[in-house]
Amino acid sequence: MITKIQTIESLKSLIAELFYNKTTKVTAASDESVINALFYGIAKVGQKAMKDIALVESHLFPQYAYGSYLDTVASLFGIPARYGASGSSTYLLLRAAEGTYYEQATHIFSGENGIDFELTEDFEMGSNEFAYVQARSTSVGKITNVNANTILKVMPIPAGHIGVTNEYAAMGGRDAESDNDFRLRIIQHPNIVAQKTLTFLAVMFRMVNPDVLRVLNYGIDSDARLTLAVVLQNGADLTDSELADLLDATKDYFSLSDLSPQGNDTGVKLINPMWYAIGGDTISDPGIDFRAGLYDNYDVSEVRKNIQIAISNYVDFRYWDWSHQIEWDDLLQIVKNISGVRYVPDLYFNPHYDITVPQGKLPRLKKFKMRDLDGNILFENEQLVDVFYPVVV
């Protein structure tokens, strides 16, 4: 706040100082005196005035507003109201025979929570017979943020399918636009009067798809087209048809240099962002993998969920700054500070090095394994361990 609300005592001290500077008739005021009561009354009125001024500021400046005050700020400046619910996304660990084919519109993944997920594109299993594939929820709302290892089945089951799970929790689902995202949108909205800026394009795309978070410039491709990556707030990828519809609906906002004489958007290409996955598809890249000693009275799934939430807040692609690194000792400290974690040996903590995210790519957590101090993976479902983490002689 610009206005700093003072305590009664500090205001009384200020009033007393001014009072004593203007008269020699009074030199002190006891706690029960008339002068002290007068000072208190003036200070109380002043504090109420400061409180009302601060409330007015919260209706004028979005950086100081929250909740319904943010809605008032948006209304005053003619900004579209708070956006509604959206779904979540995550990576699925698939195990299947080589050549097993998963169709994006046909095979629906679900689990014990009843939330359905679909792949962002068709996928065919390679020779590794396991892969991490991005999926997004078919429904919306905060309820779509499901815990790790809860997406365990697919319908219909394709030939060659062995098993599926999500090592990392599905995140990004929201019931309504959060205060942080809404505040950022309000602050950036004046960019609508700018031209040929990334923020202007994000505002334009957001008018068609409210889930658009930001736009990244990937330069000119081999066909001399301006390549723009559209980032969604939940981290999901858009399908080719969704990207085409988004470009078609906003082509009138591009400059003449980006359009053909017929008005077609031949000079612009929309793509999904390039993700820098912490944990790739190779066995040599363990992702987040550590050993931990837990207290006996704590639930393993609850500790895992809290660890993943804390790490996601640290590696948040929505507000990623490429001047920063993902420091492994920060990740280690995050795990150690979670309630229920008794001991985490740094010798077995992966990654064991600082990660520099390449410019233009966004960090995304892909692999996650929590083990006991002997190296055994901590799971509630023993069958899940056998299917996905078989003992290799």
Whether 318 maps to a domain, the answer reads yes
Which residues constitute the domain of residue 367? Answer: 276-388
pLDDT value at 316 more than 70:
yes
* Res 376: pLDDT: 86
Q: Give DSSP secondary structure letters for 233-270.
A: TT-PPPPHHHHHHHHHHHGGGS-GGGS-TT---TTEEE
Span 257-278, average pLDDT: 75
Rounded CA-CA distance 310/331 in Å is: 9
Assess whether pLDDT exceeds 50 at residue 314: yes
The answer to whether residues 286 and 355 belong to one domain is: yes
The token pair at 209 is 């798809």
Does one domain contain both 304 and 256? no
CATH number of domain containing 251:
3.30.300
* Of 191 and 357, more confident: 357
pLDDT band at 366 (very low <50, low <70, confident <90, very high): confident
**End position of a domain, from candidates 273, 302, 317:** 273
- Whether residue 369 is found in the same domain as residue 281: yes
Name residues whose C-beta falls within 8 Å of residue 301's C-beta, 6 or more positions apart in sequence.
Answer: 147, 148, 149, 380
Task: For 146-203, give the DSSP string.
Answer: PPTT-EEEEESPPTTEEEEE-SS--B--BSS--HHHHHHHHHHGGGGGSSS-HHHHHH
Query: What value does the mean pLDDT of the chain take?
Result: 83
Bridge-partner residues for 154, per DSSP?
109
- Whether 73 is covered by a domain: the verdict is no
Least confidently predicted of 128-132, 313-317, 359-363, 380-384: 380-384
Q: Which of 116, 144, 165 is the last residue of a domain?
A: 165
Q: Where are the alpha helices (DSSP H) in the chain?
A: 8-22, 34-60, 68-76, 179-188, 198-208, 240-250, 300-314, 328-336, 382-388
Tell me the pLDDT band of 380, cut-offs 50, 70 and 90.
low
The average pLDDT across 366-373 equals: 88
> What pLDDT is attached to residue 393?
40
- Write down which residue in 273, 293, 310 finishes a domain: 273
In a domain, 69, yes or no: no
Same domain flag for 200 and 136: no
Asked if residue 296 and residue 251 are part of one domain, the reply reads no
Both 242 and 213 in one domain: the answer is yes
Task: Name residues whose C-beta falls within 8 Å of residue 78's C-beta, 6 or more positions apart in sequence.
Answer: none
| Mean pLDDT in residue range 358-369 | 88
For residues 28 and 56, membership in a common domain is answered with yes
Residue 68 is assigned to a structural domain of this protein: no
CA 124 distance to own-chain centroid:
29
The DSSP call for residue 94 is: E
| One domain for residues 303 and 371 | yes
| pLDDT, tens digit, 9 for 90 and up, residues 199-254 | 888 888 888 888 888 899 888 888 878 899 999 988 888 988 899 899 888 887 77
Q: How confident is the model at residue 261 (pLDDT cuts 50, 70, 90)?
A: low
Does the pLDDT value for residue 392 go beyond 50? no
Does residue 222 sit in the same domain as residue 326?
Answer: no
128 occurs within a structural domain? yes
The proportion of the chain whose per-residue pLDDT surpasses 90, expressed as a percent, equals 22
Q: Is residue 50 part of a domain?
A: yes
Sign of the Cα torsion 56, 59, 62, 68 reads positive
Q: Are residues 241 and 301 in the same domain?
A: no
**What is the arithmetic mean of pLDDT over 176-183?**
80
Phi–psi pair at 346, nearest 5 degrees: -70, -20
Average pLDDT for 155-168: 91
Q: Give the integer Cα–Cα distance in Å for 237 and 231.
A: 8
Say which DSSP state 14 is in: H
The reply to whether 78 falls in a domain is no
Q: Establish if 67 belongs to a structural domain.
A: no
Residues 366 and 326 in one domain: yes
Q: Is the pLDDT of residue 154 over 90?
A: yes
Both tokens of 225, joined, read 């087209």
Longest dimension (CA), the chain: 98
What integer pLDDT is reported at residue 117 of this predicted model? 95
State how far the Cα of 178 lies from the Cα of 193, in Å rounded to an integer. Answer: 25
* Contact present, 150 and 131 (Cβ < 8 Å): no
Contacts (Cβ under 8 Å, ≥6 apart) of 367: 132, 167, 168, 278, 279, 285, 286, 287, 288, 289
Sign of the Cα torsion 192, 195, 197, 201 reads positive
**Structure confidence at residue 130 as a pLDDT band (50, 70, 90):** confident
Work out the percent of the chain whose per-residue pLDDT is above 70. 89
What digits encode the pLDDT tens for the residues 64-110? 777 777 888 787 777 777 877 888 999 999 999 999 999 998 999 99
Residue 304 pLDDT exceeds 60: yes
- Highest averaged pLDDT of the listed ranges 2-6, 46-50, 279-283: 46-50
Q: Which residues pair with 130 in a beta bridge?
A: 95
Query: pLDDT class for 9, splitting at 50, 70, 90?
Result: confident
Binned at pLDDT 50, 70 and 90, residue 272 comes out as very high
- Residue 137 and residue 171: Cα distance in Å, rounded? 10
Mean per-residue pLDDT, 383-389: 55
List the one residue out of 68, 109, 113 whose CA is nearest residue 92.
109
Measuring CA to CA, which residue among 271, 285, 274, 273 is closest to residue 366? Answer: 285
Structure tokens at 228: 């723009």
Nearest-angstrom CA–CA distance, 60 and 72: 8
Residues 265, 285, single domain; the answer is no
Q: How far is CA 306 from CA 55, 302, 310, 329, 335, in A?
A: 35, 6, 6, 18, 9
User: What is the total count of domains within the chain?
Assistant: 4
